[in-house]
Amino acid sequence: MKRIKSCKTQLFPFRQDGALLERDRVIEDLKQKLRTKEKEVDTLFHRNSYLAREVRYLTDVVQHLNQKLAELEADQQEAREKIRSLLNHRPPVPPARTIIKPSVEPSQLRQVSSLTHELNVSNKQLRSTVGQAMTDMKNQLEELKGAVGKLAQVEQEAAGEVEELRSLYRREAVERKSLYNKLLELQGNIRVFCRCRKSSASGSCLEKTDDQEVVVVQKGNKKKFQFDKVYPQSSTQEEVFAGTLPVITSCVDGYNVCILAYGQTGSGKTYTMMGSKENPGVNIRSIRELLRICAEKEKVSYTLKISMLEIYNDSLNDLLSKSPGTALDIRVQGKSVSVPGLTQIQVKTESDILNVMETGEKNRKIASTKMNIQSSRSHLVVALEVEGSDEVSGLTSRGTLTLCDLAGSERISKTEAEGQRLVEAAAINKSLTALGQVFSALKCNALHIPFRNSKLTHLLQPCLSGDAKCCVFVNVSPDEKDTVETLSTLQFGSTIRQVSLGKATQNIVPAKNNKTAK
């Protein structure tokens, strides 16, 4: 503005009036021009500052774009490398005939880049998570392996303890058994039980004072008899069997056991030994029990064989033979007594026992007498052979159970037997007398025991000569009319009770040589 004022003074120095006007017009014009120029300057100034701002902005934009471009290029490079590495891991693809290059927008590339980046990050995270999980799993697996190892060790220790306990138990059982057998030996290997039949009449000649004593009253006189056990009229089949059970079970250990039922006709011998179908006696119960015990024994396999014979009129009949009626003989070999040709049937189940018994019973000689509608006219001998082979010791045990239901002693005057019944009665009485003579000789420890006086005593010789454990039932009738016979039977029982058989022998041999030495 100072420059313009000095210029105005230099242009109009000579002509004042017109010149002044001209000067004013020019000034005015100049002012106008000045204003225009000032406006233009202002405009330019504004424009300049706008442009300066624009330049700055654009510089920033360019800088930013350059930066973005550099990033984009870096991303592109990375993406290319990723794609190249992915392509390198892919199975070779047959070259396409025409390769159409897709036109890729930078924004798409950026998106791809960002996605690839995110993918890489996720991949890294995933790898680290999987790695961590794998480490955790490995650790857990190691822990589990350790726990399983410890458990196996504990189990092994427990199995060892169980085995130790088992062997202890077995040792205890064997010891207990041997102590028990010793106790039986001390008590005597012959035991006598008295069983009173149920009374069929009103008057009774019997008084039972305690478990082991019975009193017979005859015409006001009392006579006492002692036995190992007295079973009163009310005794059940189970109770009677329970008394014999301890002796019976020693068969399994290789002992010979014999159970005899002796008594007057009709006194309940067959009821005690055989019993009825619904209420079986000692025979069926004992075989059943032996089957059960044998099945329960560990590491010992048993074979049970039954034979059944009757001694009728002093001859032996095989009751299980398919052709009954053939008389059998007794063979003696050393101390051993056998019946060659006698049928033996293996029993495995209870129904086997019942079938065998039924067959034998059918073939038995039974007749109706004045004293008993179904009187046994023969002595019945059921023999069970129990052979066990011990897997552990290799030993074989062979025990026998002889169950004998003797025919009833009878007074011929009382039974009024005639004809065949008389012949039978005579044979029965003769063999029972022989049995009495054997017991009397045994009681006195006589040098000669007359075993061979009858087939009955001959057959029972191994049972009565000290090697076996023996139980005798003396069956008595409580009826007053039978007092004489009851007294006689109890007297017979008392004689047997005074017999002391020797030590029973256990028949055990090594498996290779399983011919039992009896």
Q: Does 197 bind ligand ATP (CB under 6 A)?
A: yes
C-beta closer to ligand ATP: residue 343 or 376: 376
Q: What is the largest CA-CA distance in the chain?
A: 210
Q: Does 275 bind ligand ATP (CB under 6 A)?
A: no
Which residues on neighbouring strands pair with residue 405, listed in sequence order? 261, 380
**In the complex, minimum distance from the CB of residue 388 to ligand ATP, in angstroms, rounded to a whole number:** 33
Buried b (16+ CB within 10 A) or exposed e, 296-334: eeeebebebbbbbbbbbbbebbbbbbeebeeebeeeeee
402 is in an annotated binding site: no
Contact range with ligand ATP by CB under 6 A, out of 121-129, 266-274, 318-326, 341-349: 266-274
Tell me which residues in 470-499 interact with ligand ATP (CB under 6 A). 475
270 is in an annotated binding site: yes
C-beta closer to ligand ATP: residue 139 or 200: 200
C-beta closer to ligand ATP: residue 266 or 280: 266
Q: Say which residues have a Cβ less than 8 Å from residue 372's Cβ, sequence separation at least 6.
A: 265, 266, 408
C-beta closer to ligand ATP: residue 250 or 489: 489
> For 28, phi and psi rounded to 5 degrees?
-60, -45
C-beta closer to ligand ATP: residue 206 or 407: 407
C-beta closer to ligand ATP: residue 294 or 435: 435
**In the complex, minimum distance from the CB of residue 208 to ligand ATP, in angstroms, rounded to a whole number:** 14
Q: Say which residues have a Cβ less than 8 Å from residue 253's Cβ, sequence separation at least 6.
A: 177, 181, 397, 399, 506
Q: Which of 243, 254, 268, 399 binds ligand ATP (CB under 6 A)?
A: 268
Q: Does 269 bind ligand ATP (CB under 6 A)?
A: yes
404's tokens: 């004998």
Q: Which of 244, 256, 267, 378 binds ligand ATP (CB under 6 A)?
A: 267
Q: Does 399 bind ligand ATP (CB under 6 A)?
A: no
State the DSSP string of 6-70.
HHHHHH-SS--HHHHHHHHHHHHHHHHHHHHHHHHHHHHHHHHHHHHHHHHHHHHHHHHHHHHHH
> For 309, phi and psi rounded to 5 degrees?
-140, 160
Q: Which of 244, 307, 372, 457 binds ligand ATP (CB under 6 A)?
A: 372
Q: Which of 36, 374, 393, 500 binds ligand ATP (CB under 6 A)?
A: 374
C-beta closer to ligand ATP: residue 79 or 319: 319
**In the complex, minimum distance from the CB of residue 469 to ligand ATP, in angstroms, rounded to a whole number:** 23
In the stretch 332-351, what mask flags binding to ligand ATP with x, by CB under 6 A? --------------------
| Dihedral sign, Cα of residue 391, residue 393, residue 396, residue 397 | negative
C-beta closer to ligand ATP: residue 268 or 462: 268
Q: Which of 263, 280, 360, 388 binds ligand ATP (CB under 6 A)?
A: 263
**In the complex, minimum distance from the CB of residue 413 to ligand ATP, in angstroms, rounded to a whole number:** 16
C-beta closer to ligand ATP: residue 33 or 198: 198
Tell me which residues in 167-196 interact with ligand ATP (CB under 6 A). none
Q: How far apart are CA 462 and CA 311, in angstroms?
A: 17
DSSP state of 97: S
Contact range with ligand ATP by CB under 6 A, out of 11-19, 248-256, 267-275, 492-500: 267-275
Instruction: Give the distance, in angstroms, between the CA of residue 211 and the centroid of all CA atoms in the same chain.
Output: 41
- For Cα atoms 193, 249, 301, give the angle at the middle one, nearest 5 degrees: 160
Q: Say which residues have a Cβ less than 8 Å from residue 305's Cβ, sequence separation at least 6.
A: 344, 345, 346, 347, 384, 385, 387
Residue of 323, 363, 365, 361 whose CA lies nearest to 343? 323
Q: Is 117 exposed, middle or buried (0-12, 13-18, 19+ CB in 10 A)?
A: middle
State the DSSP string of 249-273.
GGGGGTBEEEEEEEEBTTSSHHHHH
Element (H, E) at 220: none
Q: Does 469 bind ligand ATP (CB under 6 A)?
A: no
Q: Does 368 bind ligand ATP (CB under 6 A)?
A: no
Q: Which of 250, 270, 313, 454 binds ligand ATP (CB under 6 A)?
A: 270
CA distances from 199 to 234, 472, 479, 481 (A): 10, 21, 6, 11
Binding site listing for ATP:
263-270
Residue numbers of the site for ligand ATP (CB under 6 A)? 197-198, 263, 265-271, 372, 374-376, 407-408, 475
Binding site listing:
263-270
